[in-house]
Amino acid sequence: MERALIVSSNNEFAELAELLLRIEGCSRTAVAASGNEARRLVKNETEPELVIVNTPLSDEFGQDLAEMIADSTSAGIILICGSDVADDIADRVSDSGINVVTKPVTRELLQRTIRLIIAARVRMAEVKKESPDILSRIEEMRTINRAKTTLMKYLKFTEPQAHKYIEKQAMNNRQTRLEAAQKILAQYE
């Protein structure tokens, strides 16, 4: 993780969070003391990968800021608030993927939560890498199945016969099954 944003009007908390982020390998951390400053940073700077909002802020509570960041970025978000409102806020923001942590926050809890967010982002990045490959495989299977259906319709093949025919065409013409299926579809459709 490279980029993080800490939003807190409490300097002591901001320093602790910055230290923990450095320990976890975050190389660039921006600190904002208000919601307006944080909005400006999110809008004008490179998108953060992790945002920690320590409520209340000097110009707003911070929940709206966290929701705005969740809507406009893919950052992992930690919203720290008092225990008297934490459950209510958690119910409202959980669908946005915002992690609510209650005060008082210990160093260990904050570090564990940061590690959890980082691990979740790493896993998400892996899934994003796999998605295009899976989608292309699904599209390939659809095309092959359409070609099978076409063979069954026009040549009265059974499904196993159509499957075997496509594989044989691919092998004989030194093509992939997808290319053979596309050739069949071009011929009959």
Answer yes or no: do 10 and 101 share one domain: yes
CATH assignment at residue 149: 1.10.10.10
Whole-number pLDDT of residue 132: 82
Six-digit token pair at 18?
């910055």
- Per DSSP bridges, beta strands 28-32 and 76-81 are unpaired
How many structural domains are present in the chain? Answer: 2
Six-digit token pair at 53?
């909002």
For residue 106, count CB atoms less than 10 angstroms from its CB and return exposed for 0-12, middle for 13-18, buried for 19 or more. Answer: exposed
Whole-number pLDDT of residue 188: 85
Answer yes or no: do 184 and 141 share one domain: yes
Domain membership of residue 113 (yes or no) is no
Give the C-alpha separation, 164 to 150, whole Å. 14
Residues of the chain scoring pLDDT < 70: none
Domain membership of residue 115 (yes or no) is no
Domain membership of residue 123 (yes or no) is no
Answer yes or no: do 24 and 84 share one domain: yes
Answer yes or no: do 75 and 147 share one domain: no
Answer yes or no: do 173 and 98 share one domain: no
Answer yes or no: do 136 and 101 share one domain: no
Residue 150 belongs to domain spanning: 132-188
Answer yes or no: do 30 and 72 share one domain: yes
Radius of gyration of the chain (CA): 26
Domain membership of residue 110 (yes or no) is no
Answer yes or no: do 100 and 174 share one domain: no
Whole-number pLDDT of residue 44: 86
Q: What is the pLDDT of residues 94-120, one digit of tens each?
A: 888 899 999 999 999 999 999 999 998
